[in-house]
Amino acid sequence: MNGIMALFKSLWTYVQLMDFRGKRDEFYLQLARSIERRERLRTFLVEEQKIAKSKATRDSSREFAMRLMLAKLSQGQDFKISQILSEVMPNEDRLMLSAVDQSKDKPETLRSLVVAIQQQKQARSLIFKAMFPPFIMLPGVFVFSYVLATRSIPIIAQIAPPEVWTPYNAAVRNFSESVASHGFQTMGVMIALIAFFIYQMPRWKGKWRGRIERIPQGIGLLLFPVFPIALPLSIYRDFQVTLLLTSLAVLLKSGSTLTGAIDNLRSMAQPWMQWHLRRVSRHLYVAPTEYVEAFANGLLSPKLLARLATTIRNDTRFDRVLIELGTQGVAEVRKEIEKTSKGMNTLLMVASAACVLFLYVGQLSIAQSMTDALDPVNRMKQFR
């Protein structure tokens, strides 16, 4: 019972915070300005909670977030900004929030986080626009198949002679009947698998994960129909690496060593990133200046790794290298995602259209076969 109640509470908190998290970049900008004014964090949160609770400016999601952060502060411990904000922010912000704690210029680091969030939103928007049209067509395919299997085909099957069911017509009938019999269960299983995959992305680690992530996005797109997990894993890796590079650059500028910065970020990272950073740290402890080799174990894509090697040749300061790599890397990742999204859109639209065409032509073929089979019978009746 306690486990069920805890799950319900967790889900309710997630729902309550959805709107605030969607607009959290605005909060980070306001917090940056507050820090520049040398305002105490508690004062900032209290005043923002008052605004969120006011009838004229009511925002229940924001008020709920302020309440959670103030509750953390009221425990009387010397919490860092990252510990207070991570109560309400999504896990993907943890790396940059950890960098805020160590940064000499916290407002500027918060603004860097805002830029990263906005770029991620743009990339997600590209993916959504690419996936939306095909997923609008899929319910249409399901409805068409369901009606065909539950309305048209049963009637035809009762009166149709065996010669109507040619291999093609039988394939249409079998497909439609499968959709009618198992369509809802299949959709449920697919939704559950997708949810499980999303849940596991920041947690799954190991050599197979590393091998799959190293598959280029172009090849991942070609493999998508038979191996759909390669492409999203590659995109997820690139997303997280851009945040990591920016966070590392901030920590290095604040005076931290590279191994110290990595260890600091690892304590705030999720299991997948911890696994990658642990491998980087092990290499750097043995060979402190072999940056390219340390990051070559799957964390950086081949393009980013090549850019890292080129940039190091031109600039010996690793913090400046990471700043340049992070800035240009984000732009490259977005271009790659845009290109990949267009490819996914084309692939899914062609698959959906082919399915609709298969069913539509199949329905016409069955009707024509019925006409051809019954026409001699009708002529015999007229002759008699």
Question: Quick one: tokens of 111?
Answer: 């603004």
Q: CA 153, CA 23: separation in Å to the nearest integer?
A: 51
Q: CA 280, CA 297: separation in Å to the nearest integer?
A: 8
Answer yes or no: are the C-beta atoms of 94 and 267 closer than 8 Å: no
Residue partners of 332: CB distance under 8 A and separation at least 6: 303, 304, 307
pLDDT band (50, 70, 90) for residue 383: very low
Q: CA 108, CA 218: separation in Å to the nearest integer?
A: 36
Q: What is the mean pLDDT of the chain?
A: 81
pLDDT band (50, 70, 90) for residue 45: very high
220-238 mean pLDDT:
83
pLDDT in tens, 251-287: 777 677 788 888 888 877 888 988 988 888 888 888 8
Asked if pLDDT for residue 48 goes beyond 90, the answer is yes
The phi and psi torsions of 214 (rounded to 5 degrees) equal -80, -5
pLDDT in tens, 304-363: 788 778 877 777 677 677 767 766 666 777 777 777 777 777 887 888 788 878 888 888
Least confidently predicted of 60-64, 80-84, 114-118: 114-118
pLDDT in tens, 62-77: 999 999 999 888 887 6
Question: Quick one: tokens of 291?
Answer: 């940056």
- CA distances to 195, 245, 322 from 113, rounded to whole Å, are 27, 12, 15
Q: How far is CA 19 from the centre of its chain?
A: 18
pLDDT at 327: 62
pTM score: 0.73
DSSP string, 69-105: HHHHHTT-S---HHHHHTTTS-GGGHHHHHHHHH-SS
Asked if pLDDT for residue 382 goes beyond 60, the answer is no
Q: CA 187, CA 189: separation in Å to the nearest integer?
A: 5
Question: Quick one: tokens of 308?
Answer: 């890292």
Q: CA 372, CA 378: separation in Å to the nearest integer?
A: 10
pLDDT in tens, 157-203: 777 777 888 888 888 888 888 877 887 888 889 889 988 988 898 88
Alpha helix ranges (H) inside the chain: 2-22, 24-36, 41-53, 60-73, 81-85, 94-102, 106-147, 153-159, 167-200, 207-213, 217-223, 230-253, 258-268, 271-286, 291-294, 302-314, 318-383
Q: CA 360, CA 362: separation in Å to the nearest integer?
A: 5
Residue partners of 16: CB distance under 8 A and separation at least 6: 60, 61, 64
Percentage of residues in the chain having pLDDT higher than 90 = 11
